[in-house]
Structure 1
């Protein structure tokens, strides 16, 4: 166990189906670590296990040296581990700014009694929330879209808004499940810049799951390759691209 996030011989079974089989992964602080593999390889199962949706049948998961077994998803988020989803999960009828604001109320808590009387602590917290919303809008380049309903955004901007909302909880690590799915080439370049900014400027570690190879190969410090629930390779992008077993299972000749 040497990473900020460590999976140690993790197995996840659903009845007779072994979705993940004795997988060990260390995601180190300040890095982008990608998890790739064909559909059904077990990638999203790993993310769901890390974030408390599933419990490992065998093995252990640690974040910041603390075990995650039995910890509820909301408490995992409070520890600094936040995720996004394959499908955009925004509040469509709410504005872009309010989608981010929702995430911040879990950080700036002031309680129902304070809110009901608009106490000093409540007003101070709301001012901090407003300031943080503006910072996050600026970070993902959505400042000019703040009042637009989230459902009116094009897909690429929806992806950015999901990132901003995930950042609202001030995470140490982001688990991103296919953030580049459906993006065009120019939008992929923009996503790469965004992910590097999160790592290099905000110092946020990332576990990235994606099928879009220009993203995976363009931003990853390390890549783990899954197939049929097992880890078949791990290394730098160049090492993975040259691995015959990875070529046969996933990347193709």
Structure 2
């Protein structure tokens, strides 16, 4: 059920790119110098990031994901209502006794159905385009933060991996399948000092804030492009 909700989430969302080019490495460092990885050591040259956890805890992305999902659901409700009304009209056509009148009304109905179909296609395209643009934007912001963290702590290599985001999830069958069938390199074990996931999350939430008063949920933005 949670996976279905995530698939419907048109998320992986951020607001339009807010002059990312102006957010220089120095600017990012200056706003979050107090953030340090747990047990960081000067000898650490490799950092690992749980990308799934970053997406789950990046408040701005989740806030805007909720906003986009709400808009999409409202649009879906409106289109369903209009389609139901047209289906009712189609059934009522059969009650018109005069052939000429029935054919005239049927022609009008076909035009309305065609117009509604165009609206449905346009709605899917609109939300898919917004999702794609926001995915690109969050990727740029993520890269900017990773670049800052890597340079701040003199890392030579940073690896990302999709892992469980909670203890319960780490013990689930889904996690077992994920670890055993991952199509890319997975981190099987790591020293705690190498994990910079929380540092990246703090930098993201510090430099790209969600609106005041927003309470983060527990969902993870969907990475799958809309169809």
What's the TM-score, normalizing by structure 1? 0.23
- Structure number having the greater strand percentage: 1
Which of the two has higher C-alpha Rg?
A: 2
- Structure number having the greater helix percentage: 2
